[in-house]
Amino acid sequence: MSAYPPHGKGAYILGCDGPKLCNNEKAFYKEADPFGFILFARNIDNKDQICALTDDLRSAVGWNAPIFIDQEGGRVQRLHAPLVREWPAPLDHVRQAGDRAQAVIHARYAVIAQELKQLGITANCIPTADIARKQTHPVLKNRCFGQNAKIVSQMAEAAAKGLLEGGVLPVMKHMPGHGLAEIDSHLAAPHTDASLEMLENVDFKPFRALNQLLMGMTAHVVYEAIDPERPGTISPAVHKLIRKSIGFDGLLISDDLSMKALGGNAESRANAVITAGCDVVLHCNGQLDEMHAVVEAAGQMGSKARERAARVIRMHCALSQREVDISQLTAQLDTMSQN
């Protein structure tokens, strides 16, 4: 297999239906040429099965495509014991670790990265750089690292560096900030009436601190002070702030198109995402008919998106060569957690 494009030009990351690919999926992926794939619990059975699935996904497209997952630890982790280690929710782990929190979070995500890498999974949709509030919806709250910009920035940076040390690409989320959302964006579009000044001085800060990361994910949140009509993922005004105010020039990926915060069907959602300024559409549910519509609507990446994607792929290739002693990291983490 080749390790670098001309493959992967499709402006989409796609899911798959189950633990094994069918012939129709293989043929579709070959033709669609996605930038990468994402796995969920429905795709997980055992180590040999996961390794076979990640191999088959890459064989279908003919190159070493990135394979993503949400393995935050705590409530959101697609892989569980005995396959991998179980973790507290990030907010709880930071509190438990006290003064050692940065070192603990770094080691935690280095261990997670090695667990993923051994299964052929090479990108993790973490760190969550959202700031928790009293009113933050429970679907997100304990997935955050803290309740102020300084702590969140420090922990998100530690998490990203840990993933990279372990050989896996991080994807920071949910830009430009999801912590003010009081409803679940899987079910409807959250709104916040926070002023732009407050967003700039609080919620944007962790993302600004991590703006050199190569990938970021958008938030399906309506920021009324910026665009009162559209969630950030499909708002050109929000995208402009991500690029200019936050200063992020990495590959910008939408949150999942299947979430109900976005109106319309899969085709209209994909078109709105690309039109607003996202580089890549994320479609997770693995339904083949929807994936056909998404591929048709999103098309291939533009030239600027391809430049950003090329930086990701260069790092992806470099990380694939990195070896880390996971037993040493685990021992260090256990020692820090006990003291």
Note if 186 is an active site residue: yes
- State the catalytic residue, choosing from 17, 45, 56, 186: 186
Q: Work out whether strand 76-77 and strand 222-223 pair parallel, antiparallel, or are unpaired.
A: unpaired
- State the catalytic residue, choosing from 255, 256, 283, 316: 255
Q: Which two tokens stand for residue 293?
A: 């519509």
**CA distances to 112, 164, 179, 206, 338 from 202, in Å:** 29, 26, 10, 8, 33
Q: Work out whether strand 71-73 and strand 76-77 pair parallel, antiparallel, or are unpaired.
A: antiparallel
Distance CA(189)–CA(203), nearest Å, equals 18
Size of the chain, expressed as the number of residues it contains: 339
Distance CA(165)–CA(220), nearest Å, equals 30
Distance CA(140)–CA(76), nearest Å, equals 10
Note if 289 is an active site residue: no
Measuring CA to CA, which residue among 171, 249, 180 is closest to residue 220? Answer: 180
- State the first-to-last Cα distance of the chain, in angstroms, to the nearest integer: 47
Task: Please list, in sequence order, all residues whose beta carbon lies within 8 angstroms of the beta carbon of residue 19, skipping any fewer than 6 positions away.
Answer: 42, 43, 44, 45, 49, 53
Residue-by-residue DSSP string for 209-239 = HTTTSSEEEE---EETTT-SSS-GGG-HHHH
Largest CA distance in the chain: 54
Q: Which two tokens stand for residue 33?
A: 């040429």
Neighbour count for residue 150 (Cβ, 10 Å): 12
Residue 251 is inside which H or E element, if any?
Answer: strand 251-253
Catalytically active residues are: 186, 255
